[in-house]
Amino acid sequence: MTFPSKKDRPALVLDLDGTLLDRDFRESLRLYLVPSPRTGRIFPHVREALWNLSEKADLLGVTARCFLARGNTRRWQEAQGLPLFPVLHAPVFLVRERARIFFKRRCIRRFRAAGYRPAFGVGDRGSDLECYWREGIFPLMVVPRPGGSRHKALEQRARRLGLRQGEDFLLFTEDGEAPPLWKRLEAWLEEALEEGGPPAGRGG
C-alpha cells in the first residue's frame, strides 16, 4: 500500500469498529460476504470531526478486521462521505487480545517507517489502550455505551497497566445529555494540535 502523507504534522491513529461505527449481526455478515457499503452505522459527529481534524493531522486507520473486508471498508468510507485515509487490515481473523495488540503495534510502526508521526490514538477496547500506550502515542478512548462490559474491561486494563485517566489517557463517554462524544473529542484534539501535540512526555 502506498501512503499519501503531509509528513510535517502529527497523525491520528483510528480504530474502526466501536470507535467510528457500530455493527449488528447482519452488517457483520455483509462485511465479509457481499460487496456492500451498508456494513455499519456511523456514530454521531464522526464525519464532521474527521473532516475538521484532517485539516490539521494525517488520519490513519488500523483495524483487526481481516483483509477480506478491505473492499467493503473503503465502500463504507465513501458512502459515509468520510475523508479517505489509509486503513491497514489484519492478514487473518484475530480473536485473541494479544494478537490484536501485536498486529496494531506493527501497523503503527509501519506508518512511522513511511514517514508519519503518530501522536494520538483513538479506540474503544483495552487492547487499543495498551497498543497506543506501548507505542508511545497518547490514547483517547471512546465509550459509546458507558457501564457495559467493554467499558469495565477498559478500566480493568488501565488499572493493570498502572495508567491514570486524565493523565496517561483520556476517556470520552456518551451520556445522552452532553454534546456527542466525538464533538467533545474533536474539541480536545483541536486544542492539543494547536499546542503542537500530545501532553508532555507522550507521543511518537
Mean pLDDT of 101-121: 96
In the predicted structure, residue 1 carries a pLDDT above the cut 70: no
- Higher pLDDT residue, 78 or 5? 78
**Phi and psi of 178, rounded to 5°?**
-70, 170
Half-sphere exposure of 107 (CA within 13 A, CB side): 27
Domains and CATH numbers, the chain: 11-194 (3.40.50.1000)
How confident is the model at residue 2, as a pLDDT?
57
In the predicted structure, residue 202 carries a pLDDT above the cut 50: no
Distance CA 100, CA 131 (A): 9
For the chain, the C-alpha Rg in angstroms (whole number) is: 16
For 86-110, b where at least 16 C-beta lie within 10 A, e where not — what string?
bbbbbeeebeebeebbebbbebbee
Q: Which residues contact 125 (CB under 8 A, 6 or more apart)?
A: 15, 18, 97, 100, 150, 153, 154
Number of CB atoms found within 10 A of residue 32's CB: 13
Question: What is the model's pTM?
Answer: 0.93
Percent of the chain past pLDDT 90, that is, above it, reads: 84
Average predicted confidence (pLDDT) for the chain: 92
How confident is the model at residue 177, as a pLDDT?
72
- Higher pLDDT residue, 91 or 177? 91
Q: What is the pLDDT of residues 10-56, one digit of tens each?
A: 999 999 999 999 999 999 999 999 999 999 999 999 999 999 999 99
In the predicted structure, residue 7 carries a pLDDT above the cut 70: no
- Bridge partner residues of 61 (DSSP): 14, 87
- Higher pLDDT residue, 117 or 4? 117
Q: What is the pLDDT of residues 137-159, one digit of tens each?
A: 999 999 988 888 989 999 999 99
How confident is the model at residue 176, as a pLDDT?
76
Give the C-alpha distances (Å, rounded to integers) separating 87 from 13, 104, 128, 171, 175.
10, 11, 15, 23, 29
How confident is the model at residue 204, as a pLDDT?
35
Assign 195 a pLDDT band (cuts: 50, 70, 90): confident
Give the C-alpha distances (Å, rounded to integers) separating 29 from 18, 24, 65, 188.
16, 9, 12, 35
In the predicted structure, residue 178 carries a pLDDT above the cut 60: yes
Q: Which residues contact 171 (CB under 8 A, 6 or more apart)?
A: 141, 143, 154, 165
Residue 180 in grid coordinates: 456527542
